[in-house]
Amino acid sequence: MKTYKIASIPGDGIGVEVVDAGLRALHALAERIGTFQFDVTHFDWGTDRFKREGALMPADGAQDLIGFDAILFGAVGAPDVPDHLTLWGLRLNICQPLDQYANVRPTRILPGIKSPLASVSDKDLDWVIVRENSEGEYSGQGGRSHRGQPQEVATDMAVFTRVGVERIIRYAFELAQSRPRKLLTIVTKSNAQRYGMVLWDDVAREMARDFPDVRWDKMLVDAMTVRMVMQPQSLDTIVATNLHADVLSDLAAALSGSIGVAPTANLNPKRTTPSMFEPIHGSAFDITGKGIANPVGTFWSAAMLLEHIGEAEAAEQLMQAIESVTANQELHTPDLGGDATTEKVTAALIAQIQGRND
């Protein structure tokens, strides 16, 4: 029997609740299939650790994750600690050292879920957003000086390297090529950002020559928000910078019905280090501990994890179970307009995996 080593990092807020649900789903699936199992190691990294020990994770914590087959992450962020400390102290402190440069965010309208766009059906909205995950506005370059003085200055540099841009645009072309429509939209702001974003345009044009079967077009990020809402069926694979895709993928999640169902893979496509899977949503302190967090985003992220480790059939089974759960309105959590609890949804998913539909 094959054993996969999984690092579990629930983090903050509802991350704890949804990662617990996700791990239960993964164990149930492994038991049902019987050819593999999971060896899970839990890491108590997050804001509670920050309050106790002054850091969300150990200084060389990313090194502790080397050797795992994958990481299942929950969420980071707390109401009483500045967000830039928590984000940089945990999530980015893992993604950057492990070079998880491709952040992949599929968006579909799952069965039983209604898009807020009145006339949009599930066939009209089937996207994958590829978020550059290592540089751009999240490079970590910048600073703040002359604090408190009128001439105080603060910068966050948007850094784009040819290596960084080429590898993410190549990844996006390959992904677009693997999907039936072979359609890629490259999002920039190259009218206003005339250096880094023009580099993106140049690389896209050069790279397109290697993918003659992929149709591609370019959009400015502001116009892209309009196209996502007005012509969702005109899009398939989308690639954008770290910041632009962060924003666009939240819009995409909302258009698919709820951010609670949206998944993410932070991939190291070269597989030199483990990749990390997490729901898009954050820690949601307003509902933490109430037992009503939507676990579907984590289940879908777990399906992406299975696909990544080579268990494609198990991933497919998990997606089918997810879709049968979302199809049942009684299993919708409050973010989807229902009153189901995390536990009820998780139990129903596990029953589906086990072939018990009670």
In angstroms, the CA 187 to CA 163 distance is: 18
Q: Is 250 a catalytic residue?
A: yes
Size of the site for ligand GGG (CB under 6 A): 10
Instruction: Rule CB under 6 A: say whether 232 interacts with ligand GGG.
Output: no
In angstroms, the CA 252 to CA 147 distance is: 38
Closest CA to 302 of 82, 91, 1, 19: 19
Among 40, 81, 85, 87, binds ligand GGG (CB under 6 A): 87
Q: Among the options 138, 171, 236, 344, which is catalytic? A: 138
Q: Among the options 20, 101, 171, 189, which is catalytic? A: 189
Compute the least distance from the CB of residue 75 to ligand GGG, in Å. Answer: 4
Burial class (CB in 10 A: 0-12, 13-18, 19+), 179: middle
Compute the least distance from the CB of residue 279 to ligand GGG, in Å. Answer: 5
Could you tell me the two tokens for 273? 């280090």
**Angle (deg, nearest 10), helices 221-230 and 242-255:** 10
In angstroms, the CA 153 to CA 140 distance is: 16
Instruction: Rule CB under 6 A: say whether 251 interacts with ligand GGG.
Output: no
In angstroms, the CA 185 to CA 224 distance is: 9
Asked whether the beta carbons of 241 and 137 are under 8 A apart, the reply is: yes
Instruction: Rule CB under 6 A: say whether 260 interacts with ligand GGG.
Output: no
Among 69, 246, 311, 335, binds ligand GGG (CB under 6 A): 246
Q: Is 358 a catalytic residue?
A: no
Instruction: Rule CB under 6 A: say whether 307 interacts with ligand GGG.
Output: no
Among 14, 23, 56, 76, binds ligand GGG (CB under 6 A): 76
Instruction: Rule CB under 6 A: say whether 279 interacts with ligand GGG.
Output: yes
* Beta strands across the sheet bearing 183-188: 36-42, 2-11, 70-75, 275-279, 263-267, 102-108, 126-132, 237-240, 183-188, 215-220
Closer of 56 and 207 to ligand GGG (Cβ): 56
**Which 202-231 positions form the footprint of ligand GGG (CB under 6 A)?**
none
Binding site for ligand GGG (CB under 6 A): 75-77, 87, 91, 246, 278-280, 282
* Residues forming the active site: 138, 189, 222, 246, 250
